[in-house]
Amino acid sequence: MFGWRYYATTIMFSSLAYLATTLVCLVAIKSCNKKETPKPEPLAVYSVELDLEWCETPRHSKQFLIPKYENTVQILDVCEVSALAVSRSLYVFYQNWVAWFGDDTGEVRHMLNNLLIEWGDTKRTVHSAYNIHGRLIKNVRVTGLAIAPNHMWVMRGEKGIGTSSFVHELVHLALWNVYDSADPTHEGGEDNLWTKEHTEFINETKDLLFLIGDRYLADPNYNMDTLRSVMESNLRYGEVKE
């Protein structure tokens, strides 16, 4: 026969084994009943596919705040573009935009006050883009890109801001902020946001900026009263002038 110590040891180990089994079961039940927390979806990021000449880390050398605008900055690579000229160009754009299309919600004004403008000296290649009539073009060289609702890249115009895609890309961003679509197909496609009026608006605004020229837009002695007078004399403000 076994002694009392044998029975005591057996009972102790049996109790420990039962306790361990119970704990394992409880953990398993808890794991089965536990609801898995879904992983958050990655944030949607609008990107433009570019060829290898678009650097992952562009040689951005300088960053300037744009005068008169709250959080708007421009980044320069090699080219030099006057921050004051950009500020006045944004002013011309907005005043003419309001005259043509209005801005009751203030979305366009807000966009212009929170804008990132990148300037470059060479064209970029995109895998696909649309011309003004909505026709798809592959591997096209472009002079401007609407990258995000508050982010644009523009190639510097040889004869100033008025000869660049600056105004064109601003129209894309304005539509993007107002309608949640930049309407890349322009006057074609199914969005029907970009109309012939937007194209006319661009031509008119660019002509005025070219007429004034970067030299005067960047000149602090060229006052705003003079600028407004030139605008009044040259812009149709959405109407046909006599």
The predicted model scores a pTM of 0.74
φ, ψ (nearest 5 deg) of residue 125: -105, 125
DSSP string, 60-95: --EEEEPTT-SS-EEEESSS---HHHHHHHHHHHHH
Q: What are the tens digits of pLDDT across the range 171-184? A: 999 999 999 999 99
Which residue's entry shows tokens 């394992």? 24
Q: How far apart are CA 70 and CA 91, in angstroms?
A: 13
Q: Where are the domains of the chain?
A: 62-234
Cα 149 vs. chain centroid, distance in angstroms? Answer: 3
Cα 159 vs. chain centroid, distance in angstroms? Answer: 26
Q: Hey, what are 216's tokens?
A: 């005067």
Distance in angstroms between the alpha carbons of the first and the last residue of the chain: 124
- Exposure string for 13-33, b = 16+ CB within 10 A, e = fewer: eeeeeeeeeeeeeeeeeeeee
Instruction: For Cα atoms 198, 167, 131, give the angle at the middle one, nearest 5 degrees.
Output: 60
Q: What are the tens digits of pLDDT across the range 72-96? A: 999 987 678 899 999 999 999 999 9
Q: Look up residue 32 and give its DSSP letter.
A: H
Helix (H) or strand (E) holding 137: strand 136-142
Taken as a whole, the chain contains a residue count of 242
- From the list 74, 76, 79, the residue with the least C-alpha distance to 61 is 76
Residues of the chain with pLDDT > 90, as a percent, come to: 58
Q: How far apart are CA 102 and CA 59, in angstroms?
A: 38
Give the model's confidence band at 64: pLDDT under 50 very low, under 70 low, under 90 confident, else very high.
confident
Which residue's entry shows tokens 């005068």? 67
- From the list 146, 167, 165, 145, the residue with the least C-alpha distance to 156 is 165
Q: What are the tens digits of pLDDT across the range 4-47? A: 444 444 444 445 444 444 444 444 444 444 444 443 333 222 23
Q: How far apart are CA 55 and CA 156, in angstroms?
A: 18
> For the chain, what is the mean pLDDT?
80
